[in-house]
Structure 1
Amino acid sequence: MLIRARAPVRIDFAGGWSDVALFTEHSKGLVVNGAINRYAYATLRCESQTTQDDSVELQRILDKSIRIYSADFDTFIEADDVRQLEYDGNIDLVKAGVRRMSIQIGGFDLITQSNAPPGSGLGTSAAMGVALVSVLGALKEATYLPYEYAELASTIERHELGILGGKQDHYASALGGIHFMEFQGEEVKTSPLRLPPQIRYELEKNLVLCYTGQPRLSGNIHQNVTTAYKSADPSVRDALETLKATAEATKTALMRGRLTEFGELLTQNWRNQKKLHPSVTNEQIEQLFKIATAHGAIGGKACGAGGGGCLLFYCEPTREHSVRQKLEDAGARVIDVNFDFDGLQMWRVSNY
């Protein structure tokens, strides 16, 4: 039997960084983001089908080993027992999921894959974590609410693996849709932005998402920004406050259908992202922004922590095709996306 799950990645419009735990301890974080139709997939395979040789089936049932394969990195590991899984830089997120979910049995395979680029800034690791806890929970016959999947996946990254980051990615992946999110300490409030169809269609048409071809190392950038914040750098603290104000304004612009203003707010957010640390941008990113702006982009920002990965632009209604073409001419890869409103989905396959 196969247990499968898929969880969408997200594009963040405004307020990113303000959801990071270090910052939410002292001040409320505000974020606007949207889940998109690029997914992280997790498959758990338990061999329970009938075989001609009963001894083969019995051997499989008694088998306590675990096999994990990451299709994205073409990496395979095998352990004779769950307790042998050690963090060594190879597929640690999957190992951490097995540990945190208190999986005591073996005899199964885990396969992970994503159709978002590596290091894209789209929250792929969070989406993978959400998909993982879904299939592992199903193995335990446990049932969770969407926010519980998000919290479990966030806990795995932050507490099992010590990854610096916030919760917006996990909640976007578990819930789907376009949301305004508030973060205070460990508390999270999510409010869906139910845009009229014509506003959503126009938004989807005029957004251009491109991959720079350079995966970013978000851990390094997070450490840089964290160090600057802890040193009480006033420019960093001011930038974080402006990012939150931008998220509030972005929420209002979307709800009122003011999409040109929305595009301008992307740039406002980007300016303040760059104030957090010089590593948030680089020469290639700046050049792609110049190209997009010159050919019809109203505004834009880097996704996630920045430093590489994906860039998001909102374009003039009749010029997005020109922006797409010029970005591709410059070596970027344009990714076609629509919003995902389903969030985490899990299903079983009996015959395969």
Structure 2
Amino acid sequence: MIIRAKAPLRVSFAGGGTDIPPYPQEHGGAVLCSTINKYAYANIIPGGREIEVHSLDYDMTIKYTNSDTALYDGKLDLVKAALRVMEVSDSYATVYLHSDAPPGSGLGSSSSMVVALIGAIKHWLQRPMTSYDIAALAYRVERIELAIAGGMQDQYAAAFGGFNFIEFQGDTVVVNPLRVRSDTINELEYNLLLCYTGGIRLSAHIIDDQVQNYRTGHVDSLEGLHQLKMIAYEMKKALLLGRLDDFGALLHEGWQNKKRLSNRISNSHIDGIYEEALRYGALGGKLLGAGGGGYLLLYCPYNKKHRVAAAIERMGGQITPWNFENRGLQTWESDRGVMSGTIHSMAV
């Protein structure tokens, strides 16, 4: 029997950065985000005499006999940390992992992978855990166990799924699912473009720079964070009222404030693509994730979207098809594909 799990990736519309400590501890943070139909997958085949982990994306395999003996050496450390935090020390299995987007793409793929893995382990060991428990544990794996710089929104977005307004006050996280009208969701999806700009970025370096600017009292950085939080509330209101042109304009306003946090967030290539998109009719947009590269999200009136897409492709950008996903983490069991200890079918 194979235990499978998948957790959706996310697009962050507003407030990203206000979920990164110490800002939420001192001022409170808020983000608006939604999950999309791109996923991180974890597959567990229980049994054997060791833990054997295969990353299908990196064509990498690690093996060890006990989670206590797995050293963090840069090779699939997220998996080792998840197994250690979940206290998988006397159970063995073969684990297969893969994702629809690489780390550094800006879609929260690393956090989604940890959420998927924790979900699969929970299913395997029959652990009673809520979506809040899973998200909090995923945060612990990334930010505490492995000390990877970053915020708190990605883990909760992947665990809960759908459109969420997530508030952070100190160490307390409140996920507010939004009841967005279906015609508003369809119209928003129709008017958004997801563009891959290239340049997988090292988000930890950008985040370290952002946090350093905040800690040293950089006035522009602090004011940028305050504005990003305010824009998240305004964008939530625009979304719930179906005022999508306002939503697009707020994306632009948020992107201008995001760039105030660190001079590493954008570069001349990204700025050039964005300016060209605006010239051809986009109302606004933003880089997803910490910045520096990866995916650019753009809001375009439907009758100008094709012109914006063509302009971006001429500049080397790649338009990516996608849809919104309302479901969060999912786990299930399958008896397909088990033969000689390998998976022959990854169908879901």
TM-based fold match above 0.5: yes
Shift of residue 131, structure 1, vs aligned partner: 0.3
Aligned with 1:16: secondary structure?
coil
Deviation string, structure 1 residues 44-100 (Cα, Å, up to 9, x no partner): 1125xxxxxxxxxxxx4xx1x111111121111111333221101111101100100
Distance (Å, rounded) in 2 between the aligned partners of 1:210 and 1:76: 31
Which residue pairs with 1:44 in the alignment? 44
- Name the counterpart of 1:317: 302
2:288 equivalent to 1:303: yes
C-alpha displacement of 1:183: 0.3
Whole-angstrom distance in 1 between the partners of 2:319 and 2:257: 25
Give the whole-Å Cα distance in 2 for the aligned partners of 1:242 and 1:197. 29
SS in 2 for 1:182: strand
The residue aligned with 2:110 is 125
Q: 2:276 is matched with which residue?
A: 291
Distance 1:117 1:312 in 2: 17
Judge which range, 204-213 or 139-148, deviates more. Answer: 139-148
CA distance in 2: counterparts of 1:118 and 1:209, whole angstroms = 17
The Cα offsets for residues 221-262 of structure 1, whole Å up to 9 and x where unpaired, read as 011011111101111111100000100110111011110010
> Match for 2:73: what amino acid?
D
Give the Å deviation of 1:106. 4.1
Shift of 1:138: 1.9
Query: Are 1:201 and 2:218 an aligned pair?
Result: no
Which residue number in structure 2 is paired with residue 268 of structure 1? Answer: 253
2:69 alignment partner in structure 1: 84
Q: Equivalent residue for 2:329?
A: 344
Q: What corresponds to 2:13 in structure 1?
A: 13
What amino acid is the match of 1:148? D
Amino acid across the alignment from 1:75: M
> SS in structure 2 opposite 1:112?
strand
Correspondence for 2:227: 242
Any stretches of 5+ residues in structure 1 without a counterpart? 48-59
Q: CA deviation at 1:351?
A: 3.9
CA distance in 2, matches of 1:325, 1:23: 39
Matched with 2:127 is 142
Name the structure 2 match of 1:27: 27
Task: Report the identity percentage.
Answer: 41
Aligned residue for 1:251, secondary structure, equals helix
Partner of 1:161: 146
Cα distance between partner residues in 2 of 1:137 and 1:118: 24
CA contact (8 A) 1:82 1:106 kept: no
Aligned-pair CA distance for 1:143 = 2.4
| Larger Rg belongs to | 1
AA partner of residue 20 (structure 1): I
Q: Structure 1-normalised TM-score?
A: 0.93
For 1:329 and 1:144, locate their aligned partners in 2 and report how far apart those are by CA, in whole Å.
Answer: 48
**CA distance in structure 1 between the partners assigned to 2:3 and 2:128 by the alignment:** 14
- For the structure 1 residues 117 and 332, does the alpha-carbon distance in structure 2 shift closer, same or farther, using more than 3 Å as the test? farther
Q: 2:177 aligns with which of 188, 192, 196?
A: 192
Unaligned 5+ segments in structure 2 are 338-348
Q: Which amino acid aligns with 2:20?
A: V
State the one-letter code of the partner of 2:158: S
How far the C-alpha of 1:180 sits from its partner, in A, is: 1.0
SS of structure 2 residue aligned to 1:19: coil
